[in-house]
Chain A
Amino acid sequence: MSDTNAQSTAFVREAMLPAKPAPVTQVGAVRWLRENLFAGPVNSALTLIGMFLVYTLVTHFYPWFRHSVWNANSMAECRAAVTASFGDGATGACWAMIRERWHQFIFGFYPPELYWRPIAVFVLLFVALAPILFTQLPRVMLGFSVIYPLVAIWLLWGGSIWPVTMVAVGFGLGWLAMRRLSAYSSILAIVAAVLVPVLFWLFAVGPLDDLLTSVLPIGIEPVASDRFGGFLLAITIGVGGIVMSLPLGIILALGRQSDMFLIKTFSVVFIEFIRGVPLITLLFVASLLLNYFLPPGTNFDIILRVMILVTMFAAAYIAEVIRGGLAALPRGQYEAADALGLDYWKAQRLIILPQALKISIPGIVSTFIGMFKDTTLVTFVGLFDPLKGIPDFIRADFNWKGIYWEPFIFVGAIFFILNFSMSRYSMYLERKLKRDHR
Chain B
Amino acid sequence: MTEPHFERDIDRSHMQVSDEIAIQINQMNKWYGQFHVLRDIDLTVNRGERIVIAGPSGSGKSTLIRCINRLEEHQSGQIIVDGTELTSDLKNIDKVRSEVGMVFQHFNLFPHLTILENCTLAPIWVRKVPKKEAEETAMHFLEKVKIPEQAHKYPGMLSGGQQQRVAIARSLCMRPRIMLFDEPTSALDPEMIKEVLDTMIELAEEGMTMLCVTHEMGFAQAVANRVIFMDQGQIVEQNNPHDFFHNPQSERTKLFLSQILGH
Contact = CB atoms under 8 A, between A and B. Distances in A.
Given A332-B108, A340-B122, A346-B125, 4 more contacts: A330-B108, A336-B109, A341-B97, A341-B98
Contacts of A335: 71, 104, 108
Contact of A336 (B90, B100, B110): B110
Interface stretch (A104-112, A114-122, A237-245, A351-359): A351-359
Nearest to B100: A339
A90 interface: no
Given A336-B104, A346-B125, A438-B156, A341 B112 contact: no
B174 interface: yes
A221 interface: no
A355 B174 contact: no
A330 B106 CA distance: 10
Contact of B108 (A333, A354, A433): A333
A438 B157 contact: yes
Contact of A341 (B108, B111, B126): B126
A161 B127 CA distance: 43
Contacts of A438: 154, 156-157
B138 interface: no
B94 A343 contact: yes
Contact of B156 (A351, A355, A437): A437
Contacts of B69: 338-339
A350 B125 CA distance: 9
A436 interface: yes
A39 interface: no
Interface in A417-438: 433, 436-438
B4 to A, nearest CB: 29
B45 interface: no
A392 B70 CA distance: 65
Contacts of B97: 338-341
A333 to B, nearest CB: 6
A336 B154 contact: no
Given A335-B71, A335-B104, A438-B156, A340 B111 contact: no
Contacts of A330: 106, 108
B170 interface: yes
B102 interface: yes
Contact of A354 (B104, B112, B126): B112
Given A340-B97, A340-B174, A437 B111 contact: yes
30 contacts: A330-B106, A332-B108, A333-B108, A335-B71, A335-B104, A336-B102, A336-B104, A336-B108, A336-B109, A338-B97, A339-B71, A339-B104, A339-B171, A340-B97, A340-B122, A340-B126, A340-B170, A341-B98, A341-B122, A341-B126, A342-B126, A350-B121, A350-B125, A351-B121, A354-B112, A355-B111, A355-B112, A437-B112, A438-B156, A438-B157
Interface string A352-371: 00110010000000000000
Nearest to A438: B156
B12 to A, nearest CB: 29
Interface string A314-346: 000000000000000010110110111111001
A342 B156 contact: no
A354 B117 CA distance: 14
Contacts of B106: 330, 332
A346 B100 CA distance: 19
Interface of B: 69-71, 90, 94, 97-98, 100-102, 104, 106-112, 121-122, 125-126, 154, 156-157, 170-171, 174
A436 B154 contact: yes
A261 B144 CA distance: 46
B115 to A, nearest CB: 12
Given A355-B112, A438-B156, A339 B125 contact: no
Q: Which 3 A-B pairs have the closest CB atoms?
A: A336-B108, A332-B108, A340-B122
A342 B112 contact: no
A338 B98 contact: no
B71 to A, nearest CB: 6
A339 B157 contact: no
Name the residue among A332, A339, A343, A437 with the largest chain B CB count within 10 angstroms. Answer: A339
A343 to B, nearest CB: 7
Contact of B121 (A340, A343, A433): A340
B174 A341 contact: yes
Given A338-B71, A355-B112, A437 B154 contact: yes
A346 B154 CA distance: 21
Contacts of A338: 69-71, 97
A355 B112 CA distance: 7
Contacts of A336: 102, 104, 108-110
Nearest to B125: A346
Contacts of B109: 336
Nearest to A329: B111
Nearest to A339: B102
Name the residue among B69, B102, B108, B126 with the largest chain A CB count within 10 angstroms. Answer: B108
A166 to B, nearest CB: 34
A342 B125 contact: yes
Contacts of B112: 354-355, 358, 433, 437
A342 B122 contact: yes
A342 B71 CA distance: 13
A119 to B, nearest CB: 38
Given A338-B97, A341-B98, A358-B112, A332 B104 contact: yes
B178 to A, nearest CB: 12
A335 B103 CA distance: 10
Nearest to B90: A343
A358 B113 CA distance: 13
A336 B100 CA distance: 12
Given A339-B69, A342-B126, A333 B154 contact: no
Given A341-B97, A346-B125, A351 B71 contact: no
A209 B252 CA distance: 81
B227 to A, nearest CB: 24
Contacts of A354: 112
Name the residue among A332, A340, A343, A438 with the largest chain B CB count within 10 angstroms. Answer: A340
A322 to B, nearest CB: 16
Contacts of B70: 338
